[in-house]
Amino acid sequence: MEIRKVNLKTDLSDISLVYAKSWKHAYARIIPAQYLNELVGDKWISILSKSDREMLVLDNEGQSVGVVTFGVARDSEYSSEGELMSIYLLPEYIHKGYGTKLLKKAEIRLVELGYATIYLWVLAANNSGRNFYKQQGFHVAGNQREIEIGGSNLTEIRYIKNL
């Protein structure tokens, strides 16, 4: 296993599949099934190819099996903080320490970019994700917001960590 920078020419198809499978696994009881069932492997290719975020992939013998996305805050009120947009792994790679390794590499890069703090938004109903971030030293910042996915209104909670 190797963690490396994404190659936008060769990795996007694998990464998009990681996103689709991860969403179906992680959000099965949170996001409407109809929406999740419509997710296909290539859904995120166009979005990811235009992203100005940094991405690192977990590479298993040439196949991307995990990805972390991070960079400049998308929320202007937190512009002095780095943002962790996502960490996704294929389901068979979860709970094996790879998410922690991806997060640590992202944190190192964010420090190199000059950030002392990192934040993220996590779905309130995503107990597994919330527990992971708590174990990694994040704490609830006290902010929350409502978003809509697949016709459902969902609450996200902001977590923060000093680097």
Q: Is residue 39 part of a domain?
A: yes
Report pLDDT for 52: 75
Q: Look at residue 127 and tell me whether its pLDDT is greater than 80.
A: yes
Q: Is residue 144 part of a domain?
A: no
Report pLDDT for 93: 96
State what percent of residues in the chain have pLDDT above 90. 80
Q: Is residue 34 part of a domain?
A: yes
Q: Look at residue 55 and tell me whether its pLDDT is greater than 90.
A: yes
Q: Is residue 69 part of a domain?
A: yes
Full strand arrangement of the beta sheet holding 139-149: 2-5, 54-60, 63-72, 82-89, 117-123, 152-162, 139-149
CATH code at position 35? 3.40.630.30
Report pLDDT for 39: 82
Domain that holds residue 51: 2-116
Average pLDDT rounded to a whole number, residues 14-24: 91
Place of tokens 């977990």: 58
DSSP characters for the chain?
-EEEE--TTTSHHHHHHHHHHHHHHHTTTTS-HHHHHT--TTTTHHHHHT--SEEEEEEETTEEEEEEEEEE-SSGGGTTSEEEEEEEE-GGGTTTTHHHHHHHHHHHHHHHTT-SEEEEEEETT-HHHHHHHHHTT-EEEEEEEEEEETTEEEEEEEEEEE-
pTM of the model: 0.92
Report pLDDT for 53: 87
Q: Is residue 150 part of a domain?
A: no
Q: Is residue 35 part of a domain?
A: yes
Q: Is residue 87 part of a domain?
A: yes
Query: Number of structural domains, the chain?
Result: 1
Q: Is residue 154 part of a domain?
A: no
Report pLDDT for 119: 98
